[in-house]
Amino acid sequence: MIKIAPSLLSADFTRLADEIATIEEGADLLHLDVMDGHFVPNITIGPMIVKACRKVSKLPFDCHLMISSPQQYIGEFLAAGADMISVHCEAEPHLQRALQVIRDGGAKAGVAINPATPAEALSAAIDFCDYILVMSVNPGFGGQRFLEPVVPKIRQISRMVRERGLTVEIEVDGGIDAQTAPAVAAAGATMLVAGSAVFGRENRPAAMEAIRAAVGAVRA
């Protein structure tokens, strides 16, 4: 079953509660993009906003930390109500430890990987995480074009998970819409982040259904 994670980054930030209400029924997760202007060239939301959004949604919160020294902030995002936290393998020199801190705090632990980073970079940490977040654009902004070369990389990660007998899920983030979703789902992704393809559309439930329909997983 495919899970759809609308990315709040493409929502109207002057009315976040109303925006979240438009996806509350049809979404499986709410994806929250945390950027620090250092690891990526943009600054977005922090724990205060995550905590505020927590009050208006029952969805699991999927916090994607695009920040340097992510381990330093894990506690704050756990306290703010994160249910899933991913840290970039390019930003965290002590990956297994960071993943353990997330799990000890009761959340699912993910490793995010940039488009130019080879799948092998996950090899030592994949046994310690609950999901891999494969970036299909260079992180920093919504609305960028999907990078095709990540499709074979998803297949490779999927194979790594299978061969090691793990239950690690694969989430894909960047340029996902009804056109690009089928290839990543066929390659093994089960969680799809979509920013502009959901919040950029007038009818959000229909936008999410269009992605599900495209991957042949229309909800009953």
Q: Does 19 bind Zn ion (CB under 5 A)?
A: no
Q: Which residue in the list 33, 62, 130, 177 is annotated as catalytic?
A: 33
DSSP calls for 50-116: HHHHHTT--SPEEEEEESSSGGGGHHHHHHHT-SEEEEETTT-S-HHHHHHHHHHTTSEEEEEE-TT
Q: Does 33 bind ligand DX5 (CB under 6 A)?
A: yes
Instruction: Determine the interface stretch with ligand DX5 among 6-14, 84-92, 103-111, 180-188 (rule: CB under 6 A).
Output: 6-14
Q: Does 64 bind Zn ion (CB under 5 A)?
A: yes
User: Binder to ligand DX5 among 173, 185, 207, 215 (CB under 6 A)?
Assistant: 173
Instruction: Determine the interface stretch with ligand DX5 among 5-13, 94-102, 150-158, 201-209 (rule: CB under 6 A).
Output: 5-13
Q: Does 212 bind Zn ion (CB under 5 A)?
A: no
The CB-of-215 to ligand DX5 minimum distance in angstroms stands at 15
**Which residues sit opposite 6 in a β-bridge?**
194
Site pattern 135..154 for ligand DX5 (x: CB under 6 A): --x-xxxxxx----------
The verdict on whether 177 is a catalytic residue reads no
Q: With beta carbons less than 8 A apart as the criterion, state whether 130 and 110 touch.
A: yes
DSSP letter at 218?
-
Nearer Cβ to ligand DX5 (10/158): 10
C-alpha–C-alpha distance, residues 60 and 132, integer Å: 17
DSSP letter at 32?
E
User: Binder to Zn ion among 28, 33, 130, 169 (CB under 5 A)?
Assistant: 33
Number of residues this chain uses to bind ligand DX5 (CB under 6 A): 22
Q: Phi/psi zone of residue 175: left (φ > 0), alpha (ψ -120 to 50 degrees), beta?
A: left
C-alpha–C-alpha distance, residues 32 and 29, integer Å: 10
C-alpha–C-alpha distance, residues 134 and 155, integer Å: 11
Q: Which residue in the list 36, 62, 173, 177 is annotated as catalytic?
A: 173
Q: How many residues does the chain have?
A: 220
C-alpha–C-alpha distance, residues 198 and 193, integer Å: 9
Q: Does 173 bind Zn ion (CB under 5 A)?
A: yes
Which single residue brings its beta carbon nearest to Zn ion? 64
Partner whose binding site includes residue 143, from Zn ion, ligand DX5, none (CB under 5 to 8 Å by kind):
ligand DX5
Tell me the catalytic residues.
33, 173
Binding site for ligand DX5 (CB under 6 A): 7, 9-10, 31, 33, 64, 137, 139-144, 173-176, 193-197
